[in-house]
Amino acid sequence: MAQKVELTMDESNKKYKILLLGWYGYNAIGDDIMAEVTKRLFFEEAKKRGIKLQFVPIPVVKDFKHRMIYSYLVKNDLIIIGGGSILGFDTMSLYITLFGFDKINLHKISRNRKTPLVIFGGGFRMEKEKLPEKDRVHMKKLFGRAALKGVRGPISQQLFISNRIVNDVDVIGDPALSFYPTSVKNKLNGDFKVGMNVRFMKTGEPQYLRNEEIYAMFARLADYFVEESAQLYFFSFTENKHDSDTEAAKRVIKLMKHKNNPKLIPFSNDALRMCSLIGEFDYLISQRLHPCILGWVQKVPNIGFEYQFLKTTDFMKSIGLDDFIIRTDEFSFDAYLEKYEKMKQNRELIIERSQESIEYWKRKQREFVNESLDIMVENRERR
């Protein structure tokens, strides 16, 4: 770990500008909560050290010129490539789509030696173990120059190393592991409350099963838990032009035998409230990754569904729960119930062990933040 840098009187009066890049601002709660957590961690650790920070907005103007983007980047003191599945074979095109950099070469970032770059909790967005050579070279140029590289889980770490992108990459866990809930309660009813989240994907993004096959799977699970005296609560984590969890919930309910049981919680872009909601369930069934993570953070057990990109497996391995993952294309009702019964019988022990892992990653993330702050301060002093 880098030695902490002491600020001079003049230096402590200046604000450091940080540009945070990620899947943020698209009505996707899982991504937005990573932005919230990342900012909070940096602000909290900076405040302890008398460092003043300012997070600058992500540029989204589609007709940015090359030189405008470059000048925008170099005006910042630190660039953070944030969490989520933003590292992978299509990283360049994803950045172009997300941030409106329609006409620029993202190597502007890699050639910008004036501003330090760190990867904070990102994960790989790919299935193949080997990248095409052209993509590998692109990623090596961009991510190879990062001062610090902290990824979501061991699969992402291994893909970095095996593709010869970088070797000095560390696992620090998903940023959402450092989430803490609000005290506001949603006053849910029922002695056995089960939360359910399903994804309706409007685009042709690859996943192991078609939407309709996943809905049938979740409908059968929903009916089972109703017959086990559960009150079901469907909730949405994403509502945008690409996804609608509310639409998915309606389609699942339509396939259920017990259609009158589920309650549908309206979507809210209040990320803290929606994430805290998960802590009020007794059990969780979620196709999406971040409800799964936020369930474990709040001691709500759940079996992770792997439906694309190995991202749930990446996370579950990081907290030692890879026995409790099921791929959607390998799903069987009996196999799920076997895992569920094992989890139910060992609930307290499993939760205790998960909390030990989560606390470890939370410490690692704060260490990473402090190292990033050290690099940021040292770099400005050298300018």
Choose between 204 and 10: higher pLDDT. Answer: 204
| Backbone CA torsion sign across 154, 155, 161, 165 | negative
Q: Is 356 exposed, middle or buried (0-12, 13-18, 19+ CB in 10 A)?
A: exposed
The C-alpha atoms of residue 1 and residue 148 are separated, in whole angstroms, by 11
Q: Residue 227 forms beta bridges with which residues?
A: none
Confidence at residue 93, expressed as pLDDT on a 0 to 100 scale: 47
Confidence at residue 312, expressed as pLDDT on a 0 to 100 scale: 94
Q: Are 192 and 231 a contacting pair, CB within 8 Å?
A: yes
Matching residue, tokens 């439906």: 307
Confidence at residue 350, expressed as pLDDT on a 0 to 100 scale: 97
Binned at pLDDT 50, 70 and 90, residue 66 comes out as very low
Show the tokens assigned to 168. Answer: 């000095």
Confidence at residue 262, expressed as pLDDT on a 0 to 100 scale: 98
Confidence at residue 98, expressed as pLDDT on a 0 to 100 scale: 41
Choose between 72 and 281: higher pLDDT. Answer: 281
The C-alpha atoms of residue 350 and residue 342 are separated, in whole angstroms, by 10
Q: Roughly how many angstroms between the first and final C-alpha of the chain, as a whole number?
A: 23
Confidence at residue 14, expressed as pLDDT on a 0 to 100 scale: 80
The C-alpha atoms of residue 19 and residue 75 are separated, in whole angstroms, by 10
Residues 6+ positions from 315 with CB-CB distance below 8 Å: 123, 152, 153, 174, 289, 292, 293, 304
In the predicted structure, residue 60 carries a pLDDT above the cut 60: no
| H-helix segments, 196-288 | 211-227, 245-255, 271-278
Q: Looking at the chain, how many residues does it have?
A: 383
In the predicted structure, residue 44 carries a pLDDT above the cut 80: yes
Q: Residue 264 forms beta bridges with which residues?
A: 234
Q: Which of 142-156, 242-256, 289-303 has the lowest mean pLDDT?
A: 142-156
Q: Are 148 and 117 a contacting pair, CB within 8 Å?
A: no
In the predicted structure, residue 282 carries a pLDDT above the cut 90: yes
Please give the share of the chain, as a percent, with pLDDT higher than 90. 61
Show the tokens assigned to 26. Answer: 């698209």
pLDDT single digits (tens) 5-25: 454 434 555 899 998 877 777
Q: Which of 65-79, 135-149, 279-293 has the lowest mean pLDDT?
A: 65-79
Comparing C-alpha atoms, which of 128, 158, 145 is closest to residue 81? Answer: 145
Residues 6+ positions from 382 with CB-CB distance below 8 Å: none
Confidence at residue 63, expressed as pLDDT on a 0 to 100 scale: 41
Q: Which of 86-95, 115-124, 318-327, 335-344 has the lowest mean pLDDT?
A: 86-95
Question: How high does pLDDT run on average in the chain?
Answer: 85
Q: How far is CA 60 from CA 25, 99, 129, 178, in A?
A: 11, 5, 32, 28
Residue type, 188: L
Confidence at residue 114, expressed as pLDDT on a 0 to 100 scale: 74
Confidence at residue 322, expressed as pLDDT on a 0 to 100 scale: 93
Going by the DSSP 8-state scheme, the letter that residue 298 receives in this structure is T
Confidence at residue 9, expressed as pLDDT on a 0 to 100 scale: 37
pLDDT single digits (tens) 88-126: 545 544 444 444 443 344 555 545 567 888 999 988 877
The C-alpha atoms of residue 298 and residue 233 are separated, in whole angstroms, by 17
Highest mean pLDDT among 99-113, 176-190, 319-333: 319-333
The C-alpha atoms of residue 289 and residue 182 are separated, in whole angstroms, by 21
Residue type, 333: F
The pLDDT of 212-228, averaged and rounded, is: 97
pTM: 0.90
Binned at pLDDT 50, 70 and 90, residue 352 comes out as very high
Confidence at residue 71, expressed as pLDDT on a 0 to 100 scale: 61
The string of DSSP codes covering 39-83 is HHHHHHHHHHTT-EEEEEPPP--TT--HHHHHHHHHTSSEEEE-S
User: Which domains are present in the chain?
Assistant: 9-178+359-382 (3.40.50), 193-358 (3.40.50.2000)
Number of neighbours of residue 100 by Cβ within 10 angstroms: 17
In the predicted structure, residue 67 carries a pLDDT above the cut 70: no
